[in-house]
Structures are given as structure tokens and as C-alpha cells.
């Protein structure tokens, strides 16, 4: 009985695939009742930028000045695009690797602390290892913002003791000063 049901389900699935082959389509200059303007070829939405747009590419070379607004934007973009794999602290223990994907490196290792910020922009642009490119998702200015925020994350985990105030040093020592 189970074999009969499985066979019937397979027959239905195979027969429905044939309908996908014969879907209606339009040539680019053909008229269409689908859109209000009667054309099948539609203009791209406002703000659309071609991947090879020279202005878009030029923005990659324009490193913005470090500001609190840049760090806030970088934090926001990092939480959206990077934290699922790298986690919010940048240690590489995000929820995506917890589900079987490879763990990314921690941003707090010496190799990445010593890397120039342009390295992170390049990795976001082109991908690295199993990480794919985010060039189509993250604007060039936002790549620089993420790189700036990464520097803040790295400093938060590896700040030299000389940068701390006396009150912070006392707090770290557990009040033993």
C-alpha cells in the first residue's frame, strides 16, 4: 500500500514538472498585459547601480574619515551581514557555524589585528575561503564602515593597559588597587 502511494506521488511530481517547461515568457520589446504601461521590459528601480559602475568602484578607494556615525553604521551593518557567522564579538562562533558550516577565523587573532583595514574591505568585496563576496549586498561606503567597526571590536578585546583610566584599571584588578 505504501509503495502504491509513493508511486502515485512520484507520478504527480513528474507530471507537474512538464508544466514548468511550457511557462509563458516575453521577448524584451514585446507588449505585456502584466504591467500597467503595457511593456514587458521594465526600467530598473530608482537607485539601481550597475555592478561595473565607475562611481561605485571609485568609492572603494575613498576611505571615509573615522567618526562615531561611521562606527554606528559599521556596527549596524556588521550585525546584519557578519554576526551570523562571526558572532557579535567577532570571535567566529556565530549561529551559522553552529549549524554545521565551517567556523570563520576570529577577528582577534594577531594576523587579523595586524592586517590593514583595506584587507577587510577586500574580503567583503571578493570573498575569502568559504565566505562568498558581499559586493552585491554591501555598498562600498558600508564596507569601510564595517572595517572601522571591526577595528573597534579588536580594540575592545585587546586594548593595551596604558589606554585605560585608573578607575578602569582598579575595576579590572577587582578593587585591589
Least confident among 8-12, 16-20, 70-74, 92-96? 16-20
3-state secondary structure the chain: CHHHHHHHHHHHHHHHHHHHHCCCCCCCCCECCCCCCCECCCCCCCCCCCCCCHHHHHHHCCCCCCCHHHHHHHHHHHHHHHHHHHCCCCCCCCHHHHCCCCCCCCCCCHHHHHCCHHHHHHHHHHCECCECCCCCCCCHHHHHHHHHHHHHHHHHHHCCHHHCCHHHHHHHCCCCC
* pLDDT of 15 above 70: no
pLDDT digits (tens, 9 = 90+) for 60-117: 888 899 999 999 999 999 999 999 999 999 999 999 999 999 999 999 999 999 999 9
* Domains with residue ranges and CATH for the chain: 54-160 (1.10.760.10)
Mean of pLDDT over the chain: 86
pLDDT digits (tens, 9 = 90+) for 24-54: 777 878 888 888 888 888 888 887 777 677 8
Residue 107: per-residue pLDDT: 96
Least confident among 46-50, 68-72, 132-136, 164-168? 46-50
Amino acid at each position: 500500500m505504501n509503495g502504491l502511494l509513493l508511486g502515485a506521488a512520484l507520478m504527480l511530481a513528474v507530471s507537474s514538472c512538464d508544466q514548468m517547461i511550457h511557462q509563458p515568457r516575453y521577448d524584451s520589446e514585446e507588449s505585456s498585459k502584466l504591467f500597467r504601461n503595457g511593456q514587458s521590459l521594465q526600467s530598473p528601480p530608482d537607485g539601481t547601480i550597475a555592478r561595473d559602475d565607475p562611481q561605485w568602484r571609485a568609492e572603494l578607494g575613498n576611505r571615509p574619515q573615522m567618526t562615531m556615525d561611521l562606527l554606528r553604521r559599521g556596527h549596524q551593518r556588521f550585525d546584519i551581514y557578519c554576526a551570523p557567522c562571526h558572532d557579535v564579538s567577532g570571535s567566529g562562533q556565530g549561529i551559522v557555524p553552529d549549524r554545521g558550516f565551517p567556523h570563520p577565523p576570529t577577528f582577534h587573532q594577531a594576523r587579523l589585528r595586524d592586517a590593514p583595514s583595506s584587507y577587510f574591505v577586500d574580503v567583503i568585496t571578493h570573498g575569502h575561503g568559504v565566505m562568498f563576496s558581499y559586493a552585491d549586498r554591501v555598498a562600498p561606503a558600508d564596507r569601510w564602515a564595517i572595517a572601522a567597526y571591526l577595528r573597534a571590536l579588536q580594540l575592545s578585546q585587546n586594548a593595551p593597559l596604558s589606554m585605560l583610566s585608573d578607575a578602569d584599571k582598579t575595576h579590572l584588578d577587582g578593587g585591589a588597587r
